[in-house]
Amino acid sequence: MITIRSLDARLVRVPLTRPWAADVTSVGVIATHVVRSDGAEGWGFSWTPQIGAEAVLALLQHDIPRFAVGGPGEPGEGWLPAWRHLHEAGGGGLTTIALAGLDLALWDAACRSDGSSLTGFLRAPRTRARAYGSGVNLHYSADELVAQTQRWVDAGFDAVKVKVGKPDVAEDLDRLRAVREVLGPDRALMIDANQRWELDRATASLEVLAEVSPAWIEEPLRADDLYGHTELARRLTSSSGIPIALGENLHTVYRFDEFLRAGAVQIVQPNVVRVGGITPFLGIAAIAAEYGAALHPHLLPELSGQLALSLRPVPGVAEPMVEDVEDAGFGALGALADPSPVSISDGALTEVPHVGLGIRFS
């Protein structure tokens, strides 16, 4: 049996070209390196934009290697026992974010040992994935937001996502009208409230914002509010029909299943790091397919893009889209030791030849 011989981790701070807020000028990456008993090596990472990087690093330097070293070295085999071992520290959040560092490195090692990329290893059914322009832009002025939208249009995107949640919904509407004018009627416009509303305010706001025909409303309520999202979905079904998207702040397969089973969400957006890596991400994708829900991975296009290429088509369900936050990709930020494993051009993501995940940090 192939086992884990060693696991190492280090913290890398990656400065952002465009700060996401006054106190978010960099993101924390915990770069991981695993060596298997057969000599194969793999590189992975964990990630957190603002809070908890040092805590994740501590888990990857102490609790996780103490449990995992000597255990299964094939991807997926040891994930559930490791999650159960860490559960005392929380079923999701820091524990699953840290587990991603091990899981991604093991997938990388397996692909490298096979001499293939992740998409080759998973026998990806597509070579291109639709991408959409995204940004952390609620703090932008209206002119800055319009200029950003124009950059997305000029770059060939046929779908974009804009933040909402101003104190007065009339200001949100004015900003979205300006964005829609740049986009025209045929490009998709998604909106993201980042958990800023409560149920009645979300209901009232979406009645107003329906004017610009949003393709979805993302995180309208507190992310773990199952009842609230279920009730909001019921209300929207009988009014604007705007689909609810969420998932970047759900951390386990079980939570995704609960939200889908309750009809609280129509579009899921798992973040491959926050859910614990590729192993649980694929489990979430299988559950979403059972419910007929679209899946669009959250952030991290260098890895999310490879997963989007690899997911099986589901009849009647939209194919996965990749989120491209302006000037925030690891490649664009100069954080990678090798060329980026993906390329985004004319609104589509394609793969650049590489082995493994193709993501090692400089």
DSSP 320: P
How many CA within 13 A on the CB side of residue 278? Answer: 29
Cα 188 to Cα 178: distance, rounded to the nearest angstrom:
14
Bridge partner residues of 305 (DSSP) = none
pLDDT tens track for 227-258: 999 999 999 999 999 999 999 999 999 999 99
For tokens 């280090």, the residue is 10
3-state secondary structure of 210: helix
pLDDT of residue 21: 78
Q: Of the given ranges (11-20, 124-133, 183-192), which has the lowest mean pLDDT?
A: 11-20
Is the pLDDT reported for residue 24 higher than 90? no
Give the Cα separation of 98 and 294 in Å (integer): 26
Rounded mean pLDDT, 317-330 = 94
What mean pLDDT do residues 187-192 have? 98
Which residues pair with residue 345 across a beta bridge?
Answer: 348
* Total residue count of the chain as it appears in this document: 362
Which pLDDT does position 23 carry in this prediction?
Answer: 80
How many Å apart are CA 299 and CA 288, to the nearest integer? Answer: 18
Q: Which is more confident, 171 or 50?
A: 171
Q: What is the CA radius of gyration of the chain?
A: 20
Token readout for 221 is 């309520």
Strands 188-192 and 217-218: parallel
Query: Is residue 222 within 8 Å of 249, Cβ to Cβ?
Result: no
Give the C-alpha separation, 11 to 136, whole Å: 24
Average pLDDT over residues 318-336: 93
Which of 15-24, 66-75, 94-103, 184-193 bottoms out in mean pLDDT, i.e. has the lowest?
15-24
- For helices 278-291 and 94-114, give the axis angle rounded to 10 degrees: 100
Kindly give, in sequence order, each residue whose CB lies less than 8 Å from that of residue 204, ignoring residues fewer than 6 positions away: 169
Question: pLDDT at position 25, please?
Answer: 86
- d(CA 281, CA 290) in angstroms, rounded, equals 14
